[in-house]
Chains A and B, each alone.
Chain A
Amino acid sequence: MADVNGNGLSGSPSMLLDGYDASRVYDEVFDADGAVRGAYSRIVERFSELDAAELQRLGELVADEFRRQGITFTVYSEDEGTERIWPMDLFPRLIAAAEWEELARGLAQRVTALNCFLSDLYSGEAAVLADGLVPRWLAVSSRGFERNAVGITVPHGAHCNIAGIDVVRGASGRYQVLEDNLRNPSGISYVAENRAAMAKVCSWLFEDHTVQPTEQYGQMLRSTLESMAPGGADHARLVVLTPGIFNSAYFEHAFLARSMGVELVEGRDLVVEDHTVYSRTIEGLVKVDVIYRRIDDDFLDPVAFRPDSSLGVPGLLGALRAGTVTVCNALGNGVADDKAVYPYVPDLIRYYLGAEPIIDNVTTYTMWDEEQRAEALGRLHELVAKPVGESGGYGVLIGPHASEQELQAARAAITAEPREWIVQELVQLSTLPALAEDRLEPRHLDLRPFVLTAERTEVFPGGLTRVAMRRGSLIVNSSQGGGSKDTWVLAPESP
């Protein structure tokens, strides 16, 4: 059914949605015929009542809110002022209850298998390598493989307590995992702040829906981390360890400490005595049981790792080896979120859990396999090349958007160091309407749900939706100019 403006959208779209073209990729709001997908009918109606000026005004209110509270992020790559106000687009992303339930099961399954893998590797047995599932050379050549982690006891075998799994939806609308983040995934604070700002500025939007809340994250995280205490959760003393105010995610570190009601510390606030970690407080030294650290492995202990690091705690490795403290996430998770190991994750799920993966990987070519490399390099102009050691979208080459020179340079780099690259099929990320000047236009997005593990694995409802704010762009990272959206997981009773 075509509307009067002839833009192919059904319902009663406002001026804001004039010319909205949902036919090119999977749009989460409108199907290819322009009909509104069920979950979004009320939201589309609500936005139809707005005009561009009103939407811009609301957007400014949100930005003011973020500015007042200092909700920012840092861009390292630009010369100019690197602190930016967190960008959020007002059109929310909705996930229906059944759809979420399936996705959450898939995420829990994946993180469970990744934890089994880490536990296997670092227990010293490494059956997975002996069985040839993952080549030994590949695992031990990972920069994230931390030999000092071998032999450290990790309660419940839960090496990754906080995972951020990036999922995308391609042309079919099916969810696929694009990337695992098992070391220090950030973004959860923005999930909470996005919701708080939306609830404040656009409370009327929530009236038609039962949306799963986000404010319980601190509670959930706290109980997860307390279960990781060496002596059990009772009376576990927990701290959040930050590199300090110059870190791009400092805002989040402060948020996490505050929402859990625990101390935010820097390395110099902690000391090790008799292989036990203590926090310096005004009441004197207090034993610490669990450290939620947001600093990299290499910086944790200058005795064992980088001697020039002043961020860490001298002697911490000894305390870990003594089993008097737990560091979360555990040491050495980088081997499991190494992009070169990613292609093996579906097999890890089959190996450890004896089950088929609920969520697939994006089709990926391993560059150290000569046949796959030849195929991938031959059609690199259609594919995406990623350096295995980078994150945040840095160094990614998107074939269709690359010049011949860039393609040549990438081919040469991949051939020279095949271990350092993976090549993936290009996923035409799904789209959602986002405000572009005076209208809503389709913008590509992904989703980073957060998965918490101690005795069991739980998926926090929703996650961080990141959206590429430039038309056609597939790079959603905030460090690369991406924005965000509030993400609503609808309660089961909702339509």
Chain B
Amino acid sequence: MEPRREAGGRTCFRRLAAVRLSISYRMHFRYSEAVSESQNEVRVRPRSDERQQVLSYRLSSLPELSVLSVIDYWGTCVEHLGIRTPHTELELLAEAAVETEPSPAMEVAPAPQSLADEDFRSEHYEYLAPSMHVCWEPGDAVAGLAEVAVADAVSVPEMVTGVVAEVRSALRYQQGSTDIGVTLPELLAGGAGVCQDFAHLAAGMLRSTGVPTRYVSGYLFALDEAAPDAGDADSLDGAPEDAVSVQTHAWIEAAIPGWGWWALDPTNGGEVGERHVVIGCGRDYGDVPPVRGVFAGSGTSEVVSEVVIGRQADDGPENPASASARPRPVRVVPQNANRRDQQSAQQQ
């Protein structure tokens, strides 16, 4: 194992081999006064699909709670946990090892007219209609911008890349620039957003032109989600050598007639590759929030959360001694959150 990795590890990483990532997601709830109860659902477990395989996963909590794990309507793993004894803090830790592969290249170019097929539209109705966070109306600024973006497209993939490019010129990446309740027209007017805003805007514009588009929640192994290839010159493919502290990430998948779902990352304009780890997808953020919960108590709450992602050695999680694969503790990013914010925690 070892010589092979030494000899060609990076090349494999870049070109063909699967990449193993270890992810640790820590959520620390703190309350100003003891709360008698809190109930939460979390959606942080990566899913297994054609492009990624979950090798191991564990959700633990302090105090220790029983976790109920089910697959929801969207195919996402949701874990329920509640606590009914007075507490001032609650810590959750999700640890996963995931093997990912590059996305297959887009090989088809169906004409835009193929989107009008009635069965195709009925099948993907949920990803064509406006949803809670992806709302537009015919003729509004969102639909207008989309129309411009796809004006010259002769195929559906070109429509998608046209919209993604338009989103990137309409929005500037700026941490903390928006809240979860922001509408698409407000986003356009403000001109700045975070990953979930890029994804929502791209979804809205694509849906308005008839391309079924879903919102993807996941993790991105990069120091800077807006420019993942920057800042690590040592790595051939731009991926960090060391574990990094990040937040959860969001991107989109568009339905291409006759092909399937095509993933693209509007925040950085790139295709979705080995460094993207999918948790799940839905119509928008509201279908796949990493954490949603309520607590009973009169105080305020704060959730401090952190995602640490690192590359894992090829011999994977079976070898816990593989020190380089261990996430390094990194500084925490505090975020104030009340009950409503608990729902929207963890997204930037």
Enumerate chain A interface residues (CB-CB to B < 8 A): 135-137, 140-141, 147-148, 150-151, 271-275, 302-304, 307, 314-315, 317-318, 321-322
Q: Do residues A151 and B82 form an inter-chain contact, with CB atoms below 8 A?
A: no
Q: Enumerate chain A residues within 8 angstroms of B71, measured Cβ to Cβ.
A: 151
Q: Do residues A303 and B122 form an inter-chain contact, with CB atoms below 8 A?
A: no
Q: Do residues A303 and B39 form an inter-chain contact, with CB atoms below 8 A?
A: yes
Q: Do residues B82 and A147 form an inter-chain contact, with CB atoms below 8 A?
A: no
What's the Cα separation between A137 and B293 when bound, in Å?
Answer: 30
Residue B340 CB within 8 A of the other chain? yes
In angstroms, how far is the closest chain B Cβ from the Cβ of A325?
13
Number of A-B contacts (CB under 8 A): 70
Question: Interface stretch among B11-19, B72-80, B145-153, B157-165?
Answer: B72-80
Q: Do residues B292 and A304 form an inter-chain contact, with CB atoms below 8 A?
A: yes
Q: Do residues A147 and B292 form an inter-chain contact, with CB atoms below 8 A?
A: no
Q: In this complex, what residue of B is CB-closest to A324?
A: B68
Q: Enumerate chain A residues within 8 angstroms of B84, measured Cβ to Cβ.
A: 271-273
What's the Cα separation between A303 and B121 when bound, in Å?
Answer: 32
Q: Please give the number of chain B residues whose Cβ is less than 8 angstroms from any Cβ of chain A in the complex.
A: 28
Q: Enumerate chain B residues within 8 angstroms of A141, measured Cβ to Cβ.
A: 125, 129
In angstroms, how far is the closest chain B Cβ from the Cβ of A280?
11
Residue B50 CB within 8 A of the other chain? no
Residue B294 CB within 8 A of the other chain? yes
Q: Enumerate chain A residues within 8 angstroms of B339, measured Cβ to Cβ.
A: 307
Closest 7 CB pairs of A and B: A318-B80, A137-B125, A147-B73, A315-B39, A314-B39, A150-B73, A137-B122
Q: Do residues B41 and A318 form an inter-chain contact, with CB atoms below 8 A?
A: yes
In angstroms, how far is the closest chain A Cβ from the Cβ of B115?
14
Q: List 13 A-B contacts (CB under 8 A).
A: A136-B122, A137-B121, A150-B72, A151-B72, A151-B73, A272-B82, A272-B84, A273-B82, A303-B41, A303-B293, A307-B340, A315-B82, A318-B80
CB-contacts of B106-125 with A (<8 A)? 121-123, 125
Q: Do residues B125 and A136 form an inter-chain contact, with CB atoms below 8 A?
A: yes
Q: In this complex, what residue of A is CB-closest to B129?
A: A141
Q: Assess A318 versus B68: contact at CB under 8 Å? Given A140-B125, A141-B129.
A: yes
In angstroms, how far is the closest chain A Cβ from the Cβ of B196?
18
CB < 8 Å neighbour of B39 from A150, A151, A272, A321: A272
Q: Enumerate chain A residues within 8 angstroms of B41, measured Cβ to Cβ.
A: 303-304, 317-318
Q: Do residues A147 and B72 form an inter-chain contact, with CB atoms below 8 A?
A: yes
CB < 8 Å neighbour of A303 from B68, B129, B294: B294
What's the Cα separation between A450 and B296 when bound, in Å?
Answer: 38
Q: In this complex, what residue of B is CB-closest to A268?
A: B296
CB < 8 Å neighbour of B82 from A135, A136, A304, A318: A318
